[in-house]
Amino acid sequence: MKKTIKIKTNLLAGIVMGLFSVIMLLIMPTQVRLPMWDSGAPSPRIIPGICLVGILICSIVLLVQSLVFHKEHIYEFVWENERKELLLIGALVVFVALTKTLGFIPAGMLIFCAIQWYEGERKPLIYIYTLAMVVVVYFLFQNVFHVDLPAGILKGII
């Protein structure tokens, strides 16, 4: 027997995104500071604030549709069908953890090649291309975007 979960999409999305927007609106003043002096320019909080209020309004609309008008799309989540995608999401979580400890280049090389192997890729040229692209992305961020990615175990070498 397949294990399934029935999800009311409007209700769940309304609750999750409503909570997200309220929490973000509450913590935004501690995370986005106002300038020391008033230059007449819009506040750095204006665009994120407008987006979060828009998300909150849309969440309320979804909740009203679900609870008052009973308009709902029910999605059946079947574990056997979603297992592959959940494993890929888990691999990306492992990538983030490894990036912090090993560094971007070793973590990227390990995880992205493992994902390709899991997906059935067996051509060596694709793996060489993947390894090269991890290095290119690292140096692109370092030298063009001036964003420091973790060097990890390669610190001092690169």
The per-residue pLDDT string of the chain (158 residues; one tens digit each, 9 = 90 and over) reads 578 889 999 999 999 999 999 999 999 999 888 877 777 778 888 999 999 999 999 999 999 999 999 999 999 989 888 899 999 999 999 999 999 999 999 999 999 999 999 999 999 999 999 999 999 999 999 999 999 999 999 888 87
Q: Which helix (H) or strand (E) holds 71?
A: none
pLDDT (0 to 100) of residue 1 = 59
Gap between the Cα atoms of 134 and 126, Å rounded:
12
Annotate 78-105 with DSSP letters as a single string: EHHHHHHHHHHHHHHHHHHHHHHHT-HH
Angle of helix 104-118 versus helix 124-143 axis, rounded to 10: 150
Alpha-carbon gap, residue 47 to 24, rounded angstroms: 13
DSSP 8-state code for residue 120: T
Write the CA distances from 75 to 78, 90, 104, 147, integer angstroms.
9, 22, 37, 40
Query: How is the chain split into domains, by residue range?
Result: 4-72, 82-154
